[in-house]
């Protein structure tokens, strides 16, 4: 039988979600917890591979087991074994054919920026600190050109191994609350570092750079885009599926909801 779960984590102290040799990962801790409660058949699947320092409010994972425990037992058991910076918010039984990665039709990321002259020390690991003024009108106008299906060669990192650079961005929503700016992207899939390069580029343009998104897209050259924004401000907030219904929009479970509740 297969179960699917939603987890949150603070990625500050991890090498990323995916298991790596000689490095601490979210995947390893989840698999250890599952295997301590029951039998884990193979490895877990997951919706998005987040890099070192990237956080998640709605990472989706699934696992195969022969232990037919109640979902509440799984939930309580996993959270009792996980470190305090990883938490599973829900567990449900699904078809054995379900796959968190391959069945996802959309994935959403949010990037948090704090604008101010003083560093926000209590949010240091969760925001990108920007000292200079940002023109939100310019940022939103330039971001609109990214929506749709494009070749995103200009917005992928040098370590990207994908053979196909074409992706479809469904929406880009830019909101502001007090000193915080949240850039939320929804796409069918992403290239390596794509979100962080897009954010870094939009930041440069919104601060007065002569670059423009259309020219960067058309060039298909990474050198024409902006710097890669730091990992600490990036959150993986969820994935969407046709085959199952997941409650990943709960305002109570999403720690970013208090920032996204109003728009300017």
**Which residues are CB-neighbours of 121 under 8 A, at least 6 positions away?**
none
Q: What is the mean pLDDT of residues 2-21?
A: 93
- pLDDT tens string 136-171: 999 999 999 999 999 999 999 988 889 999 999 999
User: Is the pLDDT reported for residue 263 higher than 80?
Assistant: no
**Catalytic site positions:** 51
Average pLDDT for 44-61: 94
User: 108-133 burial by CB neighbour count: b if 16+ within 10 A, else e?
Assistant: bbbbbbbbeeeeeeeeeebbbbbeee
Q: What is the mean pLDDT of residues 121-139?
A: 94
pLDDT reported for residue 248:
56
**Contact, 57 vs 235, CB < 8 A?**
yes
**Of 17-21, 99-103, 201-205, which range is least confident?**
17-21
pTM of the predicted protein model: 0.92
CB-based contact 75:88 (threshold 8 Å): yes
215, containing H or E segment = helix 213-219
Mean pLDDT across 78-100: 94
Q: Do 2-103 and 108-236 share a fold? A: yes
Poorest-pLDDT segment among 25-29, 74-78, 244-248:
244-248
pLDDT at res. 251: 44
CATH 3.30.70.580 fits 2-103, yes or no: yes
Is residue 148 within 8 A of residue 201, CB to CB? The reply is no
CATH no. of 108-236:
3.30.70.660
Query: Domain locations in the chain?
Result: 2-103, 108-236
pLDDT of residue 245: 80
pLDDT at 11 over 50: yes
pLDDT in tens, 227-261: 999 999 999 999 999 978 876 554 445 667 666 55
DSSP-derived secondary structure for 143-177: HHTT-EEEE-GGGS-TT---S--EEEEEEEEEEEE
The CB density around residue 102, as the number of other CB atoms within 10 Å, is 8
């Amino acid at each position: 039988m297969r179960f699917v779960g939603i987890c949150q984590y603070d990625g500050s102290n991890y090498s990323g979600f995916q298991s790596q040799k000689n490095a601490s990962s979210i995947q390893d801790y989840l698999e250890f917890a599952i295997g301590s409660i029951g039998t884990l058949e193979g490895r877990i699947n997951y919706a998005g591979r987040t890099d070192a320092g990237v956080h998640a409010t709605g990472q989706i994972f699934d696992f195969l087991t022969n232990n037919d425990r109640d979902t509440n037992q799984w939930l309580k058991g996993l959270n009792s074994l996980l470190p305090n910076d990883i938490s599973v918010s829900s567990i449900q039984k699904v078809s054995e054919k379900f796959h968190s990665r391959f069945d996802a039709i959309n994935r959403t990321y949010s990037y948090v920026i704090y604008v101010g002259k003083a560093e926000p020390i209590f949010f240091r690991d969760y925001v990108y600190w920007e000292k200079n003024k940002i023109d939100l009108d310019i940022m939103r106008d330039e971001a609109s050109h990214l929506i749709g299906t494009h070749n995103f060669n200009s917005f992928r990192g040098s370590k990207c191994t994908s053979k196909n650079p074409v992706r479809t961005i469904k929406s880009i929503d830019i909101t502001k609350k007090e000193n915080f700016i949240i850039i939320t992207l929804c796409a069918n899939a992403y290239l390596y570092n794509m979100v962080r390069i897009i954010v870094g580029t939009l930041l440069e343009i919104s601060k007065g750079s002569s670059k423009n998104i259309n020219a960067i897209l058309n060039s298909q050259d990474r050198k024409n885009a902006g710097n890669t924004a730091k990992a600490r401000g990036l959150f993986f907030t969820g994935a969407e599926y046709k085959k199952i219904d997941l409650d990943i929009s709960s305002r109570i479970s999403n720690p970013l909801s208090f920032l996204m509740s109003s728009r300017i």
